[in-house]
């Protein structure tokens, strides 16, 4: 609930500090006294548009501070704070400033926050209802949330949210794979063609170097063979081997006569003869293995050309062609795999959709029952508010598949009929301000205690009412205030008589300076204010008696 409001330099208010308590609090005062300034100030600190016209003339900036306490520690307010890493005390202090240059600063418990977050948080602190408010109940898109809050079927709502999230997750994955699969299918024939080309060539890493080396060798084979033959002839020419053998024979004889003195020389000549024979054989073998074959050279050059052509086509080096082949093979395998995955995801999607529909159907039935209960309660409330011929109904209808959401597949609409002979229509089609006020109040009485908001503000919601109807509205506001904090800005003495706390807003002009002041009234002052509301500026004894009678009647 709202416990304190500090206002500095707002329009006609230089400095104002107000403390509030539970129950029904009334603000009264003559038209133009400045009651709207209080609401504008509260709206500003809760996130409404920052208008520099709010700054008091002659001041550089305005500042509004609001202090709240929330009894329900499970309120979504704390969840949002945790998500945004805000440290919150038992006292929730929100301060907002606005400079004349249009710059605004916002703090919660002395921690700076943005306007978007402020609006998120304030939605769980205060609800302001004006006579012609175009938000809240007059906005049909909110009716489903109001009905769900009234129904209290949180488990069913959570089941639907979880089922919807699971279904959406699989649908997202299905759409992503389906898109990739369709794109891949468009490339499948091209990929198969590339695969056929590469498999026919069967490129190998490092093959380019090997082919170039072979080509160089084959191009030089004629000269290599000529040199080998020259070497062979040199070794064979002039009887080199026979000469070594003659030398060995002569040396053996000398060595025998010298008692082995020339053993090393004999051994050296034996080794030379062996190596000469081995070299001659190897040269002969090498010559036999070398041939100059132009056809083979052409084959090598043709393969090199094919590899270079494929490398250009795939914009890579010849050494990378093997990797390209592997990737194309993998892509084609993926197409087949994605086809299988799509079929699998499709089956999962259908299963999750059926699960979602099943849980949404349960939620739908819960809403039907809640709508029936709410309609009966509000119709009963309307009778008390002197609208015996009026009626109310909450309708719950199913949408189509394309409009599934995490709230289920229902549309919820609150409709009213002001007389037995009129058709049902939307709340915002009610022409009479007084009738609209009572419809709104009847709904609020039944919805407010089920919601997360602990403070409701009604801005002249009783406009156009008087007598018994105004008294009935005051009675119901008082009833509502037994469960939550209720503020009412009113011109109705019947409504004011139900107040547990009463503030009077007045305007004074001293030396051409006009200011607005707010006074918390004592019981005697409250009686005098209600008498003024009954009779006008000149208060008669009859008005005082009537005021006392009203207060005693509501006590």
Domains plus CATH for the chain? 1-125+453-555 (3.40.50.300), 177-338 (no CATH)
- Give the whole-angstrom CA distance, residue 85 versus residue 70: 18
Which pLDDT does position 136 carry in this prediction? 63
- Residue 457 CB coordination number (10 Å): 22
Q: Is the pLDDT of residue 134 over 60?
A: no
Instruction: Please report which confidence band the pLDDT of residue 433 belongs to, taking 50, 70 and 90 as the band edges.
Output: low
Residue 451 has a pLDDT of 65
Whether the predicted pLDDT of 534 surpasses 50? yes
Q: Which helix (H) or strand (E) holds 529?
A: helix 523-535
Q: Which phi and psi angles does 51 have, rounded to 5°?
A: -110, 120
Mean pLDDT score, 541-555: 83
CA-CA distance, 547 to 543, in Å (whole number)? 6
* 518, β-bridge pairs: 505
Residue range 419-436: mean pLDDT, rounded: 76
Q: Using pLDDT thresholds of 50, 70 and 90, give the confidence band for residue 233.
A: confident
Which residues are CB-contacts of 63 (< 8 A; sequence separation ≥ 6)? Answer: 6, 8, 9, 95, 96, 97, 98
Confidence (pLDDT) at 170: 92
Query: Residue 41: which of 94, 80, 1 has the closest Cα?
Result: 94
Res. 182: pLDDT tops 80: no
Highest mean pLDDT among 155-169, 239-253, 466-480, 500-514: 155-169
pLDDT tens profile 294-329: 787 788 888 889 889 888 988 888 888 888 888 888
Nearest to residue 489, comparing CAs of 3, 131, 68? 131
Give the pLDDT of residue 238. 59
Percent of the chain topping pLDDT 90: 32
- Residue 416: which H helix or E strand, with range? strand 410-417
Q: Output phi, psi for 416, to 5 deg.
A: -135, 155
What is d(CA 15, CA 39) in angstroms, rounded to the nearest whole number?
Answer: 15
pLDDT in tens, 91-125: 999 999 999 999 999 999 999 999 999 998 988 89
Structure tokens at 268: 């050296």
Continuous segment of H or E residues that includes residue 98: strand 92-99
Query: Tens of pLDDT along 240-282?
Result: 777 888 888 888 888 887 788 888 888 888 888 888 888 888 8
Would you state the pLDDT for residue 133? 53
pLDDT higher than threshold 70 for residue 1 = yes
Using DSSP, state whether 462 is helix, strand or coil: coil
User: What pLDDT, on a 0 to 100 scale, did the predictor assign at position 132?
Assistant: 45
Q: How far apart are CA 337 and CA 319, in angstroms?
A: 29
């Amino acid at each position: 609930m709202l416990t304190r409001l500090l206002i500095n330099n707002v329009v006609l208010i230089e400095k104002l500090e107000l403390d509030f308590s539970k129950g029904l609090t009334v603000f009264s005062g003559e038209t133009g006294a400045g009651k709207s300034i209080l609401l504008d100030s509260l709206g500003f600190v809760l996130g409404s548009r920052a208008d520099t016209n709010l700054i008091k003339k002659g001041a550089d900036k305005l500042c509004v501070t609001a202090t709240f306490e929330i009894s329900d520690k499970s309120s979504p307010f704390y969840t949002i704070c945790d998500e945004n890493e805000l440290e919150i005390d038992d006292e929730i202090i929100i301060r907002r400033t606005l400079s004349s240059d249009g710059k605004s600063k916002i703090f919660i418990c002395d921690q700076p926050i943005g306007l978007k977050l402020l609006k998120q948080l304030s939605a769980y602190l205060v609800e302001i209802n004006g006579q012609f408010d175009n938000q809240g109940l007059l906005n049909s898109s909110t009716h489903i949330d109001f009905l769900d809050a009234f129904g209290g079927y949180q488990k069913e709502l959570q089941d639907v949210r979880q089922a919807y999230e699971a279904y959406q997750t699989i649908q997202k994955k299905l759409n992503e794979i389906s898109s990739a699969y369709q794109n891949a299918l468009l490339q499948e024939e091209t990929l198969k063609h590339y695969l056929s080309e590469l498999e026919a060539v069967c490129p190998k890493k490092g093959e380019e170097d090997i082919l170039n080396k072979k080509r160089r060798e084959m191009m030089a084979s004629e000269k290599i063979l000529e040199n080998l033959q020259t070497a062979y002839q040199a070794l064979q020419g002039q009887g080199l081997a026979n000469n070594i053998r003659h030398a060995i024979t002569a040396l053996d004889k000398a060595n025998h006569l010298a008692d082995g003195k020339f053993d090393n020389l004999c051994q050296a000549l034996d080794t030379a003869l062996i190596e000469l024979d081995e070299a001659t054989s190897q040269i002969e073998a090498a010559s036999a293995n070398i041939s100059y074959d132009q056809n083979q050279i052409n084959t090598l050059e043709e393969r090199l050309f094919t590899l270079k052509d494929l490398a250009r086509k795939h914009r890579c080096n010849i050494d990378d062609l093997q990797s390209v082949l592997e990737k194309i093979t993998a892509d084609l395998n993926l197409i087949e795999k994605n086809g299988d995955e799509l079929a699998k995801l499709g089956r999962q999607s259908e299963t999750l959709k059926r699960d979602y529909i099943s849980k949404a159907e349960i939620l739908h039935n819960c809403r039907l029952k809640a709508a029936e209960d709410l309609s009966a309660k509000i119709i009963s409330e309307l009778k008390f508010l002197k609208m015996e011929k009026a009626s109310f109904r909450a309708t719950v209808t199913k949408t189509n598949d394309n409009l599934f959401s995490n709230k289920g597949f229902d549309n919820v609409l609150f409709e009213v009929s002001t007389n037995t002979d009129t058709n049902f229509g939307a709340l915002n089609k009610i022409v009479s301000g007084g009738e609209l006020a009572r419809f709104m109040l009847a709904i609020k009485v039944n919805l407010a205690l089920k919601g997360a908001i602990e403070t409701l503000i009604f801005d002249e919601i009783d406009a156009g009412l008087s007598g018994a109807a105004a008294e009935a509205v005051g009675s119901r506001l008082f009833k509502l205030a037994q469960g939550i904090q209720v503020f009412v800005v009113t011109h109705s003495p019947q409504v004011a008589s139900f107040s547990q706390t009463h503030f009077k807003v007045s305007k004074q002009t001293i030396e051409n300076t006009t200011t607005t002041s707010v006074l918390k009234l004592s019981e005697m002052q409250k009686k005098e204010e209600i008498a003024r509301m009954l009779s006008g500026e000149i208060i008669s004894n009859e008005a005082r008696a009537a005021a006392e009678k009203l207060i005693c009647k509501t006590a």
